[in-house]
Structure 1
Amino acid sequence: MLLVVVGLMLAAVVLVGVGERLRLPWPALMVVFGAAVAVVPGLPDGFGVDPELILPLFLPPLLFATAQRTSWALFRARWRTIALLAVALVLVTATAVAATAWLLVPGLAVTAAIALGAMVAPPDPVAVEAVAGRVPIPRRLVSVLQSEGLFNDATALVIFQAAVLATVSGDELSPLGLGVRFVAGAAGAVVIGLGIAWLARTVLGRLTDTTGRSALTLVLPFATYLAAEEVGASGVIAVVVLALQLRAAADADAATERLTQRSLWDVVEVLVTGIAFGLIGLDLRQVVTAAGDELPRMLGHAAVVCVVVIAVRTLWMVAAWRFLRRAHDAGAAPLTGREAVLLSWCGMRGLATLALALSLPVTTAAGEPFPGRTELVLIAVSVLVVTLLLPGFTLPGLVHALGIDDEAEAEQRAEREIVLRARRAAMATLDFEREVRGLPDDVGARLRERLERIEAVMSGESPSEDERQRFAGMRAVREQANAAQASALAAARAEVLAARREPGVDPHAADRVLHRLDLRSVLLD
Structure 2
Amino acid sequence: MDQLALIIGLLLATVVAVGLGDRLRLPYPVLMLLLAVALTFIPGFPDIEIPPELILPIFLPPLLFATAQRSSWAVFRVRWRTLIMLAVALVVLSTAVVAGAAWLMIPGIGIPAAIALGAMVAPPDPVAVESVAGRVHMPRRLITVLQSEGLFNDAAAIVIFQAAVAAAVGGTRIGPDVVLKFVVGAALAVVVGIAMGWLTSLVTRLVASMVARSAVTLVVPFAAYILAEEFHASGVIAVVVTALEMQRHTRPQDAAERETRTAFWDVVELLVTGLAFGLVGLEIQDVVRTEGSAVFGMAGAAVVVCVLVFAVRFGWLGLLAVSARKQKNLLQPTSAKEVLILTWCGMRGLATLALALALPVALADGTPFPARDQVLVTACAVLLATLVLPGLTLPWLMKVLNASQDGTEERDAARLLARRAQAAAVAALKDHELVKELPPEKVALVKEKMTRLHAELLDGSLRNESLAEKRERGRELAITVQTIALDAARQEVVAARSEPDMDPEVADRVLRQLDLRTMIMPE
Normalised by the length of structure 1, the TM-score is: 0.84
Gaps (5+ residues) in structure 2? Answer: 452-515
Cα distance, 1:442 vs structure 2: 2.8
State how 1:351-370 maps to structure 2 within 5 Å.
351-370=350-369
Cα distance, 1:304 vs structure 2: 0.9
Amino acid at match of 1:196: M
Deviations along 1:254-290, whole A, 9 cap, x unmatched?
A: 1100110001000000110011000111112211122
Aligned residues: 456
Q: Which range moves more in the overlay, 364-373 or 430-439?
A: 430-439
Task: Kindly indicate whether residue 339 of structure 2 is the aligned counterpart of residue 337 of structure 1.
Answer: no
Partner of 1:2: 4
SS in structure 2 at match of 1:41? coil
**In the alignment, is the contact (CA less than 8 A) between 2:113 and 2:164 conserved in 1?**
yes
Cα distance, 1:52 vs structure 2: 0.8
Partner of 2:26: 24
Partner of 1:120: 121
Partners of 2:355 and 2:157 lie apart in 1 by 10
Partner of 2:210: 210
Deviations along 1:414-436, whole A, 9 cap, x unmatched?
A: 22211111111122123224676
Partners of 1:134 and 1:37 lie apart in 2 by 26
SS in structure 2 at match of 1:405? coil
SS in structure 2 at match of 1:144? helix
Partner of 2:79: 78
State how 1:98-497 maps to structure 2 within 5 Å.
98-174=99-175, 176-330=176-330, 332-406=331-405, 408-433=407-432, 438-450=437-449
Amino acid at match of 1:11: A
Q: Which range moves more in the overlay, 392-401 or 148-157?
A: 392-401
**In the alignment, is the contact (CA less than 8 A) between 2:189 and 2:237 conserved in 1?**
yes
State how 1:36-51 maps to structure 2 within 5 Å.
36-44=38-46, 46-51=47-52
Deviations along 1:347-379, whole A, 9 cap, x unmatched?
A: 000100000000100010000111111110111
SS in structure 1 at match of 2:437? coil
**In the alignment, is the contact (CA less than 8 A) between 1:138 and 1:407 conserved in 2?**
no
Q: Percent identity?
A: 52
Partners of 1:48 and 1:79 lie apart in 2 by 39
Cα distance, 1:400 vs structure 2: 1.9
Partners of 1:449 and 1:315 lie apart in 2 by 53
SS in structure 1 at match of 2:407? helix
**In the alignment, is the contact (CA less than 8 A) between 2:136 and 2:394 conserved in 1?**
yes
Cα distance, 1:203 vs structure 2: 1.2
**In the alignment, is the contact (CA less than 8 A) between 1:434 and 1:441 conserved in 2?**
no
Partners of 1:298 and 1:40 lie apart in 2 by 26
Query: CA-atom RMSD, angstroms?
Result: 1.8
Cα distance, 1:125 vs structure 2: 0.8
Cα distance, 1:292 vs structure 2: 2.3
Cα distance, 1:107 vs structure 2: 1.1
Q: Which range moves more in the overlay, 302-311 or 422-431?
A: 422-431
SS in structure 1 at match of 2:174? coil
Distance 1:521 1:277, change over 3 A: same
SS in structure 1 at match of 2:329? coil
Deviations along 1:116-139, whole A, 9 cap, x unmatched?
A: 000000001111112112221112
Partner of 1:477: none
SS in structure 2 at match of 1:233? coil
Partners of 1:204 and 1:437 lie apart in 2 by 37
SS in structure 2 at match of 1:404? coil
**In the alignment, is the contact (CA less than 8 A) between 1:112 and 1:163 conserved in 2?**
yes
Cα distance, 1:451 vs structure 2: 6.5
Cα distance, 1:4 vs structure 2: 1.1
**In the alignment, is the contact (CA less than 8 A) between 1:94 and 1:121 conserved in 2?**
yes
Partners of 1:410 and 1:92 lie apart in 2 by 34
Partner of 1:513: none
**In the alignment, is the contact (CA less than 8 A) between 1:55 and 1:351 conserved in 2?**
yes
Q: Which range moves more in the overlay, 196-205 or 340-349?
A: 196-205
Q: Which range moves more in the overlay, 379-388 or 396-405?
A: 396-405
**In the alignment, is the contact (CA less than 8 A) between 1:64 and 1:221 conserved in 2?**
yes
Task: Kindly indicate whether residue 25 of structure 2 is the aligned counterpart of residue 62 of structure 1.
Answer: no
**In the alignment, is the contact (CA less than 8 A) between 2:255 and 2:518 conserved in 1?**
no
Distance 1:523 1:403, change over 3 A: farther
**In the alignment, is the contact (CA less than 8 A) between 2:138 and 2:405 conserved in 1?**
no
**In the alignment, is the contact (CA less than 8 A) between 2:429 and 2:435 conserved in 1?**
no
Partner of 1:474: none
Amino acid at match of 2:53: E
SS in structure 2 at match of 1:406? coil
Distance 1:273 1:523, change over 3 A: farther
**In the alignment, is the contact (CA less than 8 A) between 1:314 and 1:340 conserved in 2?**
yes
Partners of 2:146 and 2:520 lie apart in 1 by 33
Partners of 2:308 and 2:202 lie apart in 1 by 49
Cα distance, 1:407 vs structure 2: 6.7
Amino acid at match of 2:97: A
SS in structure 1 at match of 2:317? helix
**In the alignment, is the contact (CA less than 8 A) between 1:120 and 1:383 conserved in 2?**
yes
Deviations along 1:463-510, whole A, 9 cap, x unmatched?
A: xxxxxxxxxxxxxxxxxxxxxxxxxxxxxxxxxxxxxxxxxxxxxxxx
Amino acid at match of 1:393: L
Amino acid at match of 1:334: P
**In the alignment, is the contact (CA less than 8 A) between 1:61 and 1:269 conserved in 2?**
yes
SS in structure 1 at match of 2:109? coil
Partners of 2:154 and 2:79 lie apart in 1 by 18
Partners of 1:208 and 1:27 lie apart in 2 by 37
Give the 4+ runs in structure 1 shifted more than 4 A.
434-437, 518-524
Distance 1:243 1:286, change over 3 A: same
Partners of 2:285 and 2:405 lie apart in 1 by 41
Amino acid at match of 1:148: E
